Amino acid sequence: MNSNKLNIALDAVLETMVDGAIIIDDTGSILSLNPAAVEMFGYTLDEILDRNINRLMPAPYQDEHDGYLRSYNRTGRKKIIGTGREVEGLKKDGTVFPIDLSVGETKADGQKYFIGILRDLTRRQKEKREFEQLQEEHYHMSRAAAMNEMGSAIAHELNQPLAATSNYLETIRMLLNRDAPLDKSKLDDILQKAVEQTQRTSSVVDKLRNHMSSHKLPREALDLSKIIPLAIRIALAPLEKSVEIQQEFPEKAPLIFGNESQLQMVIVQLLRNAIEAVEDEEQPDIILSLQHDTKDKELILTVSDNGSGLNAKNIQNLFVPLSGEATNGSGFGLSICHSIITRHDGRIWAEPNPDGGTIFSFALPVL
């Protein structure tokens, strides 16, 4: 191929590249930009050709670039040439934006030329920030739900014995009042204080439980199939190795009525349980599916895995707080899921997978 044809081919490649491409000489003067680079920075070709490349850089890069070029021409020591790094670009309107930059070097007729390949990272970084924010919200929602569930569990566990103790003490007080040989007034005073304290404790616990059970989040019509992709990303985010999650959805899933954050939290919990269950499997198999039960007017979400599985006793205690069978370390993960689904007028259950492993499902009424 002669040089003319080579130049035509090179120009065609640069013109059609999705990424920006800029060619400069050894003084930093811009010799060529492809359309993607022109659009990226917002200049016209006439405004930027033959100008110094530092015009496209914010401080401190703008002040450092010429010095770097002079140092490289003098010493030959490379800093960025031949490698890639994340830097910042400066648009014509003054907007500073993130760029992934790779720089290569070539020579022609004894003259050095540098070509930079640029990729605008604005959208990627925005998506990363949004994802991190969603993870943070999910974390706080999980902690808040765990605290709510713990408060309810403590109230349930403590209220009954405290109420019984109060009744017993009240009975003893009345009996002792009939026993003349004892110092009734002193004993009565002590027992009365015990009764008052236990009743007070019972009242505080009741108020705590009532407060937590009355806390409601806004609900709306939701398409669960739209929530699932983000739930999968959140569930997989902490993993060092990738795990494939198969998805089986109907062409059009019916809407349900609920709180998006809470239902997303349930899906994440079920997915993480499945991921943990298959971590030692040579061929892990996790399937997330949606089914519309037209007879019972329910939408059923199922997460199945081929892990070690659970026995009947494990399954029976899965949704009980502090049963010792929960998988998230706090004892409340699946109990929270049970509470959330129940408050959405749904039901949640687990069963052995005939192919080995476990199947978790929940069903919600459709609109």
User: What domains can you pick out in the chain, each with its CATH number?
Assistant: 3-120 (3.30.450.20), 125-214 (1.10.287.130), 220-365 (3.30.565.10)
For residues 350 and 310, the answer to whether their CB atoms sit within 8 Å is yes
For residues 162 and 197, the answer to whether their CB atoms sit within 8 Å is no
CA–CA distance, 315 with 358 (Å, rounded to integer): 9
Q: Which residues neighbour 99 within 8 Å (Cβ) at sequence distance 6 or greater?
A: 86, 87, 88, 89, 118, 119, 120, 121
Give me the half-sphere count of Cα atoms (radius 13 Å) on the Cβ side of residue 137. Answer: 12
Check whether 323 has a pLDDT greater than 80.
Answer: no
Min mean pLDDT across 3-12, 19-28, 40-49, 254-263 is at: 3-12
DSSP string, 136-167: HHHHHHHHHHHHHHHHHHHHHHHHHHHHHHHH
For residues 15 and 35, the answer to whether their CB atoms sit within 8 Å is yes
Number of Cβ atoms within 10 Å of the Cβ of 37: 26
Predicted confidence at residue 324, as pLDDT, reads 44
Q: 198: which 2 tokens?
A: 């236990």
Higher pLDDT, 271 or 152: 271
Residue of 342, 332, 5, 362 whose CA lies nearest to 146 = 332
Number of Cβ atoms within 10 Å of the Cβ of 183: 9
Q: 53: which 2 tokens?
A: 């490349």
Q: 283: which 2 tokens?
A: 């061929």
**ω before 60 within 30° of 0 (cis)?**
yes
Mean pLDDT in residue range 347-352: 92
Q: Is 206 helix (H, G, I), strand (E, B) or coil?
A: helix
Mean pLDDT of the chain: 78
Mean pLDDT in residue range 349-358: 90
For residues 324 and 309, the answer to whether their CB atoms sit within 8 Å is no
Min mean pLDDT across 12-26, 116-130, 196-210, 259-273 is at: 196-210
For residues 65 and 88, the answer to whether their CB atoms sit within 8 Å is no
Q: 49: which 2 tokens?
A: 């050709």
Predicted confidence at residue 4, as pLDDT, reads 58
| Residue for token pair 């070709």 | 45
